[in-house]
Amino acid sequence: MTFQGLKSVLGALCSLRGSRPGVYEAAKKVKSLLAQGDKETAGAELLAALERWPGHSSLEDIKHFLGQRRLQDSLAELHHLEDQALKAHVRTARAFADTDNHEQAAAFVTEALKRFPDCPELHLTLGEIHLRRYLADKIPEDGRRAATCLEQTLHLDRRNPLPLKYLAGLHARIGCFRQATEDLALLDTRQADEAERRYIGELREYCSKRADAEPECDLEPGLTRVWDKGDFFMDCRDWAVPPAPAFGRADVTSILAPIVLLEATARNCVELPGVTAVVIQNEVRSEVVTADGGDVDVTALQNVTRELVAAADDACWRMELGQVRGCDLKTSVGRLALHVFADTWVGLLFADGVSATQVRTVTQQFLDRVAEQIGESHESNS
Partner 1 sequence: MKAILENLNHSVGVVGSAVMTHDGMLVTSAIGDRRDEDALTAIGSSLVHSARKSLRSFDASELKLMTIDGSRGRIVLVDAGKAFLLVITDAHVALDATLLDIRSTVGRLKKAISLDV
Residues 234-253 as x/- pattern, contact with partner 1 by CB under 8 A? -----------------x-x
**Using rule CB under 8 A, residue 301 touches partner 1:** yes
Does the protein bind partner 1 through residue 49 (CB under 8 A)? no
* Shortest distance, position 137 Cβ to partner 1, whole Å: 7
**DSSP reduced 3-state for 312:** helix
Separation CA 118–CA 222 (nearest Å): 29
Residue 204 beta carbon to partner 1: minimum distance, rounded to whole angstroms:
32
Q: Which is nearer to partner 1, 218 or 320 (CB)?
A: 320
For residues 165 and 242, what is the distance between their CA atoms, to the nearest angstrom? 10
Binding letters toward partner 1, positions 268-297, x by CB under 8 A: -----------------------------x
Using CB under 8 A, pick the residue from 66, 156, 255, 304 that binds partner 1.
Answer: 304
Phi/psi for 55 (5° steps) reads 80, 5
- For residues 170 and 240, what is the distance between their CA atoms, to the nearest angstrom? 8
CB of 278 to partner 1, least distance (A): 15
Task: Output the CA torsion sign for 45, 46, 51, 54.
Answer: positive
The nearest distance, CB 330 to partner 1, in angstroms, is 4
Contacts of residue 6, Cβ cutoff 8 Å, sequence gap at least 6: none
Q: Any contact of residue 328 with partner 1 (CB under 8 A)? A: yes
DSSP-derived letter for residue 159 is T
Instruction: Please choose, out of 82-90, 255-263, 281-289, 310-318, the segment that lies near partner 1 by the rule CB under 8 A.
Output: 310-318
Burial 20-48 (b: 16+ CB within 10 A, else e): eeeeeebbebbeebbeeeeeeebbebbee
Q: How far is CA 70 from the centre of its chain?
A: 39
CB atoms under 10 Å from CB of 107, counted, come to 12
- Going by the DSSP 8-state scheme, the letter that residue 192 receives in this structure is S
Looking at 111-119, 190-198, 276-284, 324-332, which segment touches partner 1 (CB under 8 A)? 324-332
Q: Is 129 one of the binding residues for partner 1 (CB under 8 A)?
A: no
Q: Collapse the DSSP code of 174 into the 3-class scheme (helix H, G, I; strand E, B; otherwise coil) and give the result.
A: coil
C-beta of 72 vs 224, nearer to partner 1:
224
For residue 224, the minimal CB distance to partner 1 (Å) is 16
Q: Does 298 bind partner 1 (CB under 8 A)?
A: no
Q: Does 330 bind partner 1 (CB under 8 A)?
A: yes
- Asked if 362 touches partner 1 (CB under 8 A), the answer is no
Residue 68 corresponds to which amino acid?
Q
Applying CB under 8 A, which part among 24-32, 38-46, 191-199, 318-326 lies near partner 1? 318-326
Strand partners, 334: 331
The answer to the question of residue 325 lying near partner 1 (CB under 8 A) is yes
- Collapsing DSSP to helix, strand or coil, 33 comes out as helix
Among positions 43, 255, 322, 342, the unique one binding partner 1 when judged by CB under 8 A: 322
Stretch of residues binding partner 1 (CB under 8 A), selected from 96-104, 207-215, 257-265, 270-278: 96-104
Does the footprint of partner 1 cover residue 319 (CB under 8 A)? yes
- The full DSSP string for 226-294 is HHHHTS-S---TTTT-PPPPTTSPP-GGG----HHHHHHHHHHHTTSTTEEEEEEE-SS-EEEEE-TT-
Compute the least distance from the CB of residue 225 to partner 1, in Å. Answer: 20
Task: Tell me which residues touch partner 1 (CB under 8 A).
Answer: 101, 103-104, 133, 136-137, 251, 253, 297, 300-301, 303-304, 307-308, 311-312, 314-316, 318-334
